[in-house]
């Protein structure tokens, strides 16, 4: 397997595993380990970095994958591009809803962020499977 394909595979696997671990375990761990106000404050600092990591890792994986699998690369590029509004618009909106005590808006916006992240994980899984084809 050429080095470019190995890099694409490892980056895609890292993206899949990192998103899965962060979304399924990190927040739960924080809220079990810290008081709610401290866990929430830490998550506010972590999520923008998480989204930057998703954007960078998906973009890099897409660039390595493009010559061999343009559809897989496009899927990874879509993950990167859709993480931008999640970081720039959705996360601040979630924080504002929390600050206002607007539980209804928070639930809606947080639900949207969960759907986006699950979509990113599923899309990345599709690209990983495409390596086997």
Query: In Å, what is the CA distance from 29 to each residue of 25, 40, 53, 101, 112?
Result: 6, 12, 20, 23, 21
d(CA 45, CA 38): 11
| Residue 78 structure tokens | 């879509």
Q: Classify 22 as helix, strand or coil.
A: helix
Q: What is the pLDDT of residue 27?
A: 85
Indicate yes or no: pTM above 0.75: yes
pLDDT tens track of the chain, all 133 residues? 889 999 999 999 999 999 999 988 998 899 999 998 899 899 999 999 999 999 999 999 999 999 899 999 999 999 999 999 999 999 999 999 999 999 999 999 999 999 999 999 999 999 999 999 8
Cβ contact 38:49 at 8 Å:
no
Beta-carbon contacts of residue 77 (< 8 Å; ≥ 6 apart): 58, 59, 62
| Domain ranges across the chain | 3-130
């Amino acid at each position: 397997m050429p080095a470019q394909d190995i890099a694409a595979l490892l980056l895609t696997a890292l993206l899949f595993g990192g998103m899965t671990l962060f979304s399924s375990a990190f927040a739960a761990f924080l809220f079990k380990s810290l008081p709610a106000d401290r866990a929430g404050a830490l998550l506010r600092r972590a999520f923008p970095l998480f989204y930057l990591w998703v954007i960078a890792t998906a973009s890099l994986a897409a660039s390595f994958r493009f010559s061999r699998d343009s559809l897989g690369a496009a899927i990874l590029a879509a993950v990167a591009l859709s993480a931008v509004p999640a970081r720039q618009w959705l996360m601040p909106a979630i924080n504002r809803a929390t600050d206002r005590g607007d539980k209804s808006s928070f639930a809606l916006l947080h639900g949207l962020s969960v759907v986006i992240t699950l979509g990113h994980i599923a899309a990345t899984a599709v690209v990983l499977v495409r390596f086997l084809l």
